[in-house]
Structure 1
Amino acid sequence: MTGTSFRLALITSALIATTTLSGCAAILVGGAVVGGTLVAVDRRSSGTQIDDQTIEMKASTVVRDAIGNRGHVNVTSYNRVALITGEVPNETDRAAAEQAVARLDNVRSTVNELAVTFSSSLTNRSNDVLLATKVKATFADAGDLSANAFKVVTERGIVYLMGRVTEAEANRAVDLTSRIRGVQKVVRVFEIVSETDLATLQPQGAPSNNAKPASNKP
């Protein structure tokens, strides 16, 4: 089994485990368990992470109130920027969904990527979940990226990349993603920071970007 295949299997197993466990803590904010110890791995403050989770939870309700069951809408928040993806039947619903999300507390800005088209099938959505997992596994295997600095959203084979990253990290992530089979397009939704700022954002215990030389393999 290759390194990427092993990593993909490991992540998939972790996803299955987190969806089947019950009676555990409801929210794990910006951390990963390593050797029994919780290590911070997120470049957002804990308060911002909670705000992002709250925005995502409330967004589903306000969008449903705005457009009913018409369409398929997902909202992903990173550092209080709300990315709106999916499909709606018309421009009126597209605008209404964005306006509803924009009115939520703590939303700094919105990025409306809703497509006016038929809703995607369950098969397409399952393929998108698998593709997003492949992207995260590829980042982890690359060695020169902090995979947890990125949030990956996939709709209809289009990969949206979010995160607080340097220009070099952004370019590297886009390049790796574009070479993954099944990716139709890569959309940058980054907050670009300087190398100096990165030093203040990088949490203690997070993997170094210079852990090993960059790999040319996706």
Structure 2
Amino acid sequence: MNHRTACTVLAAAALAAGLSACAPLIVGSTVVGGVLALDRRTTGTQIEDEGIELRAVNRIVAALGERAHVNVTSYNRQVLLTGEVPGAAQRQSVEQIVAAVENVRSVVNDLAVMPNSTLGQRSIDTFITGKVRASLVDARDLSANAFKVVTERKIVYLMGRVSQREAERATDIVRGVSDVRKVVRVFEIISEEELRRIAPQPLPATTDSQAVSGG
């Protein structure tokens, strides 16, 4: 792992580690380092997604307390549920709670019926998320900011509005990251034409003469 990649892993891991074990990963891919402007969702949709996550988590905690460990991740109003619940009834109940939250478009329920994961297991997941993000940053043919990464029990979930080409490339990269047990894609696939339309355009080059005259 080169120095740049190691720094990216540590920064991503430190950010995620600062979040509550039951809190959704809201900040990492929408605010830090000016990423907000590069997100392929509109600013309004990003704010909606954060509101969905907060309302859903509050309602789940009110209903189940510490009996379950549920992570809620919303991207473009599609909600991914990961974590652990004590039984099938609770699994269904959480999905119904989230589906009833305002502005939710659809729910992907990947909750496992099993005991809650340990803090040690969650720390490993946090580090894996950091390694995945670093690997996506190092891929020069991808825009790492287009992907939201969630890791649960070494299963990596990828979300985002991406082309089929980007989806395949990102999946191949993540499968090659150490300790990743499985990759689950929760993408919204867009055409290459739409990708060209929404992708940030590079700033125009400034010549030396322009720079002098502008000063």
TM-score with structure 1 setting the length: 0.81
SS in 2 for 1:203: coil
Q: How far apart are 1:40 and its partner, in Å?
A: 1.5
SS in 1 for 2:103: coil
Contact 2:13–2:129 (8 Å) recurs in 1: no
Contact 1:30–1:46 (8 Å) recurs in 2: no
1:59-115 Cα offsets, whole Å, 9 max, x none, are 111112332321100100000000000000100000000100000000000000000
SS in 2 for 1:183: coil
Contact 1:44–1:201 (8 Å) recurs in 2: no
Please point out which of 44, 54, 57 is paired with 1:57.
54
Please point out which of 122, 127, 130 is paired with 1:130.
127
Please point out which of 90, 93, 105 is paired with 1:93.
90
Hey, what does 2:9 align to over in structure 1? 8
State the structure with more CA Rg. 2
The one-letter amino acid paired with 2:127 is L
Hey, what does 1:117 align to over in structure 2? 114
Q: How far apart are 1:141 and its partner, in Å?
A: 0.5
Q: 1:126 to 1:29 in 2, by over 3 A?
A: closer
Q: 1:40 to 1:121 in 2, by over 3 A?
A: same
Hey, what does 2:156 align to over in structure 1? 159
The answer as to 2:120 corresponding to 1:143 is no
Gapped regions of structure 1 (runs ≥ 5): 20-26, 207-218
Q: 1:179 to 1:137 in 2, by over 3 A?
A: same
Contact 2:125–2:151 (8 Å) recurs in 1: yes
Please point out which of 180, 188, 191 is paired with 1:191.
188
Contact 2:29–2:145 (8 Å) recurs in 1: no
Hey, what does 1:214 align to over in structure 2? none
Contact 2:12–2:129 (8 Å) recurs in 1: no
Seq. identity, %:
50
Q: How far apart are 1:5 and its partner, in Å?
A: 2.1
SS in 2 for 1:69: helix
TM-score with structure 2 setting the length: 0.83
SS in 1 for 2:187: strand
Hey, what does 1:104 align to over in structure 2? 101
Task: Tell me how many residue pairs correspond in the alignment.
Answer: 195
The answer as to 2:180 corresponding to 1:179 is no
Q: 1:32 to 1:126 in 2, by over 3 A?
A: closer
CA RMSD of aligned residues (A): 2.5
1:185-208 Cα offsets, whole Å, 9 max, x none, are 0000000000011122223459xx
Distance in 2 (alpha carbons) for counterparts of 1:139 and 1:205: 20
Distance in 1 (alpha carbons) for counterparts of 2:10 and 2:114: 33
Gapped regions of structure 2 (runs ≥ 5): 20-26, 204-215
